[in-house]
Structure 1
């Protein structure tokens, strides 16, 4: 199995930015570069990874705040995702950064929006894209079938689920996304959430008070 990843917590929100790569070719991606761009750059260099694209799960500032700076630093690599329904979040980044006391962040549009069923390729690896609205309307999740590994942004956490009290968030939609898009991928799937420790879908199905099967 050639998929490798390293989680680097960034910003004052300790957002889990994931550097993901194929260890046969050393081509890779960065998922949710929310900030601390110099730190991310040094991890990328230390591992000898050739980053081919930056991938966003959703449009919240702590997940996208460092995207444009990192793209420039890496020679202008493409920015992919999220789903276009999160465009209003990306267009409101200047206001978000002011509100949360982050460095000023300008609005941008990605090179390409992602849709349900899309795939992201780097080296010999492939991640499948699932549109999982609820936390935000354009949220996506990335899944490696061979590695049984998912990068789920703020949809699901160890012991909790994403907030739905933001504009265009919806609790029922979020729970439906988790149960219809994530659970079918398998109980043995390990996931990297946007914040906090990793877990597995099976563990959350057994114990997470928001989405456990008994409820």
Structure 2
């Protein structure tokens, strides 16, 4: 599976295009904003968007999802239903950051641990990885050794847990029990910043030392 990163919003959030190289069908992961840039990238590369996938309910990851879904006729899938309160709190999130009013919404499909999604000929596995938020998801493509991990893990860091219903112990358990077992050679795409390898984080990330 091919991927393209489009950092959007003042938070430089990684909107990720996950593309089947055979069919060019594409999942748009976490379109946090700047919908025009996302649409332009899809059109420039001749991609065929089929769905919007959300890792979690924070504004910088979901802010552009309703507009993009309406514009391109796409279903919104994810996050896990434990993040429903974050999606309903989007007006308060926008107000807190001084951003334009953002109405709450509900996705077309909630996702759960063990679900699978098809993008063209590619299969994405859904992992529920709570901690940063209670309903945070990771999208794993086993064949290409790739995982979109949102704000669970970063190069040299981990996700914040000081937001409502954040849980530091749960976050570490998600990383150790569900992410690291995917394999040291897996490339992870974080919600912000550059991609990395799980094996490198296992050895060097100061938050993961037991």
State the Cα deviation string for residues 104-154 of structure 1 (Å, max 9, x = none).
Answer: 211000000000000111110111000000000000000000000000000
Partner of 1:133, secondary structure, is coil
Counterpart of 2:20 in structure 1 is 22
Aligned to 2:180: 183
Structure 1 residue 102: Cα displacement: 2.2
CA distance in 1 between partners of 2:99 and 2:27 (Å): 24
Q: Which runs of 5+ in 2 are unaligned?
A: none
Matched, 1:208 2:205: yes
- The whole-number CA distance in structure 1 between the counterparts of 2:132 and 2:2 is 27
Q: 2: distance between equivalents of 1:51 and 1:102?
A: 27
| TM-score normalised by the chain length of structure 1 | 0.96
For 1:157-172, list aligned pairs within 5 A: 157-172=154-169
- Structure 1: which 5+ residue stretches go unaligned? none
In structure 2, the partner of 1:50 is 48
Residue 73 (structure 1) shift: 1.4
Give the Å deviation of 1:50: 1.1
**d(CA) in 1 for partners of 2:117, 2:156:** 28
> Normalising by the residue count of structure 2, what TM-score does the alignment of the two structures yield?
0.99
Looking at structure 2, the residues matched to 162 and 122 of structure 1 have their Cα atoms a distance apart, in angstroms, of 27
Q: Which contiguous aligned blocks of 4+ residues in structure 1 show a shift greater than 6 angstroms?
A: none
Write the distance in 2 (CA, Å) between the matches of 1:120 and 1:156: 22
Aligned to 1:4: 2
Q: Aligned with 2:43: secondary structure?
A: helix
Work out the CA distance in 2 between the residues paired with 1:36 and 1:152.
21
> For 1:153 and 1:121, how far apart are their aligned partners in 2?
19
CA apart distance, 1:103: 2.5
Alpha-carbon offset, residue 94 of structure 1? 0.7
Structure 1: distance between partners of 2:168 and 2:120:
37
Matched, 1:194 2:191: yes
The 2-side partners of 1:179 and 1:187 are apart by 12
Residue-pair matches, total:
210
Q: 2:31 and 2:100 mapped to 1: Cα distance?
A: 14
